[in-house]
């Protein structure tokens, strides 16, 4: 079976568009449809000799085998991402405990210079305890976090500071998804002092350590986190903390809902499928307020959130448009071939064949 160069080019474009439209399992879908087109082409253009029969059997194997091999990639992929985000928080919590055991306190939320200007983040101070000492050695503490040398390290952010399920622009490397709640009464005071686990009168299992946030627009070296909210505000009953896991509904339009992980001071990691209200956030962040935080989850309210963001998935739009266009062209090419002609009696009795008998008049 021979193909034109233009057809081969269309096949490559078709497979690339399938990857853009269907991501990981786009190649399997493209192979399945190409097997269907090959089957149509073989049936229409060739008699059933040994060569065409082999091509047909191979195409049928792809047609019926690929659907059996397609697992539920979306759910499995999100489960893997959720597990990765959970492990990231566990590593951060363990590193904070090691820092506390070494220095007798947690790292300061912000390292300031002699004039009180914020210079460095606790995430930088934690690097040696996350097995990222080379990045720590390259960091220049003599200049601010956004200085010329330190800005070059934004793209070197350790993977542990990024949740795979979180949203955010892909053209802004260095954005972290793990923040702490700062303010009086928390493990992360904003007055320059350092928090200690011994101050947690509510118990380590009922005190927030690190929070997962989606699209936080905070760089991992930036000395900025979440300030402690005021629970007496009217909007305090509405969940305000975005998280890293979203129910992505729709193909061309994606809607992201709340739900994410948080690490407690005892090192455990919890997952919230709903949201975290400001009341729950204050109850968790303050280590000695005595507010109830719930028995089954480390916060009192777990409510279903409205959509936090909605955006068009342009990769799917462009990929699917190109995918559909190239498939229609290839399908037209497969149907364009003439039907195979049956051999006539005259063709069967070739001239010069002495073994054949003369046709009866």
Asked if 258 contacts 166 with a C-beta cutoff of 8 angstroms, the reply is no
8-state DSSP, 30: H
Q: Which of 114, 159, 153 is nearest to 137 (CA)?
A: 153
Pairing verdict, β 181-182 and 110-112: unpaired
Residue 106, H or E segment = none
8-state DSSP, 205: G
Asked if 236 contacts 278 with a C-beta cutoff of 8 angstroms, the reply is yes
Residues 132 and 144: their CA atoms lie apart, in Å, by 20
Residues 215 and 243: their CA atoms lie apart, in Å, by 8
338 CB contacts (<8 Å, ≥6 apart)?
44, 45
At 309, give phi and psi (nearest 5°): -155, 150
* Helix spans in the chain (H): 5-22, 26-45, 50-69, 73-103, 122-125, 133-138, 148-151, 278-285, 314-336, 345-348
Residues 223-246: b if buried by 16+ CB within 10 A, e if exposed: bbbbebbebeeeebeebbbbbbbb
Pairing verdict, β 253-256 and 175-176: unpaired
Please give the pLDDT value at position 59. 61
Please give the pLDDT value at position 298. 43
> For each of the chain's 361 residues, which pLDDT tens digit applies?
556 788 888 888 888 888 887 777 788 788 878 877 877 777 766 655 556 556 656 665 655 555 445 444 455 566 677 788 889 999 999 999 999 999 999 999 999 988 889 999 999 999 999 999 999 999 999 999 999 999 999 999 999 998 887 655 555 688 998 999 998 889 999 887 899 999 888 889 888 899 888 777 889 999 999 888 765 553 443 334 545 454 454 556 665 555 678 889 999 888 776 556 667 777 788 887 666 565 434 443 333 333 445 667 777 788 888 888 888 888 787 777 555 555 555 544 555 554 444 444 4
Residue 303's CB: how many other CB atoms inside 10 A? 15
Please give the pLDDT value at position 296. 38
């Amino acid at each position: 079976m021979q193909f034109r160069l233009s057809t081969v080019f269309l096949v490559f474009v078709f497979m690339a568009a399938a990857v853009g439209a269907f991501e990981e399992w786009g190649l399997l879908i493209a192979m399945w449809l190409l097997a269907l087109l090959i089957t149509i082409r073989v049936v229409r253009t060739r008699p059933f000799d040994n060569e065409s029969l082999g091509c047909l059997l191979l195409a049928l194997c792809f047609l019926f085998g690929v659907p059996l091999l397609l697992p539920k990639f979306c759910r499995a992929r999100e489960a893997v991402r959720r597990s990765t985000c959970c492990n990231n928080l566990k590593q951060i919590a363990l590193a904070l405990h090691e820092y506390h055991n070494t220095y007798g306190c947690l790292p300061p939320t912000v390292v300031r210079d002699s004039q009180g200007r914020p210079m460095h983040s606790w995430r930088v101070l934690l690097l040696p305890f996350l097995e990222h000492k080379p990045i720590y050695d390259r960091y220049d503490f003599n200049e601010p976090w956004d200085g010329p040398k330190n800005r070059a390290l934004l793209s070197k952010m350790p993977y542990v500071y990024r949740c795979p399920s979180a949203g955010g622009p892909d053209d802004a490397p260095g954005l972290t998804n793990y923040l702490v709640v700062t303010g009086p009464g928390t493990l992360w005071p904003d007055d320059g002092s350092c928090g200690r686990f011994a101050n947690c009168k509510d118990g380590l299992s009922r005190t927030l350590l690190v929070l997962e946030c989606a699209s936080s627009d905070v760089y991992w070296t930036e000395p900025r986190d979440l300030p402690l909210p005021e629970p007496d505000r009217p909007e305090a009953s509405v969940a305000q903390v975005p998280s890293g896991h979203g129910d992505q509904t729709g193909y061309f339009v994606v809607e992201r809902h709340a739900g994410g992980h948080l690490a407690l001071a005892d090192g455990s990691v919890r997952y919230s499928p709903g949201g975290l209200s400001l009341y729950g956030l204050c109850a968790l962040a303050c280590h000695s307020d005595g507010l109830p935080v719930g028995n089954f989850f480390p916060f009192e309210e777990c409510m279903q959130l409205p959509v936090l963001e909605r955006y068009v998935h342009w990769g799917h739009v462009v990929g699917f448009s190109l995918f559909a266009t190239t498939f229609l062209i290839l399908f037209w090419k497969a149907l364009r071939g003439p039907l195979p002609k049956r051999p006539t009696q005259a063709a069967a009795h070739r001239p010069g064949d002495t073994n054949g008998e003369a046709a009866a008049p």
